[in-house]
Amino acid sequence: MSASKVALKRLQKEYKAHQADPPPFVWAKPNEANILEWHYIFRGPPDTPFAGGEYWGTITFPKEYPFAPPALRMMTPSGRFESNKSICTSMSEYHPGSWNVAWSVDTILVGLLSFMLSDEITTGAVKSTDTERRALATKSHAWNIAQPKFKAMFPEYATPAMRDLPNMSGAAPKPAGPQGEGKVPLMNGSTAANESGTMAADGAGPIRGQAKACAVLPSAYLREERF
């Protein structure tokens, strides 16, 4: 599948912006052979069960981007998401009706990291103890560098010792959901209130057969993109 001219231009612009000013604990790049396939790395923020961990995942954009949302996955075992399982959020393919064309790669990644730091359960998420998550964080880099795709996409990070990402000094996003300061409830397939009290409409509803709710990610961290 090849990108549309609009998608190509938009993703090239977003990659340039990301390289110039990446969010804290986040790094991403597109596959050189397919700009619709992006790979990202999260570093576990301090004072979380993921501290010291390195988490690799993918964003798969549709050719219609930015007019349709991407699919989100995390490959590295984390104790938060099922490995290589599509993650349901208000910014993912599960809910095209809640997608905003002004959202960008950085919007998606900061929102996903915020959701990772919460305890909300949605399709693609799992329940684990903090002890289990810390144990997986310790093993995460060794797991990543054993994966051929990770080594191909991030040769600069496929070293025996884990390397810092370009931005390791900023503040991590607050956890999404009722237990985080964002106070953002889960999407129930119709509408959900965000932290400002407005309603986020989901006209499409969840993918058929999905019983779990999808997480609505906090708008406080959204970085909008313009054409």
Catalytic annotation present for 214: no
Secondary structure in 3-state letters for the chain: CCCCHHHHHHHHHHHHHHHHCCCCCEEEEEECCEEEEEEEEEECCCCCCCCCCEEEEEEECCCCCCCCCCEEEECCCCCCECCCCCCCECCCCCCHHHCCCCECHHHHHHHHHHHHCCCCCCCCECCCCHHHHHHHHHHHHHHHHCCHHHHHHCHHHCCCCCCCCCCCCCCCCCCCCCCCCCCCCEECCCEEECCCCCEEECCCCCCCCCCCCEECCCHHHCCECCC
Active-site residue (options: 3, 35, 74, 88): 88
Q: Is 200 helix (H, G, I), strand (E, B) or coil?
A: strand
Enumerate the active-site residues: 88
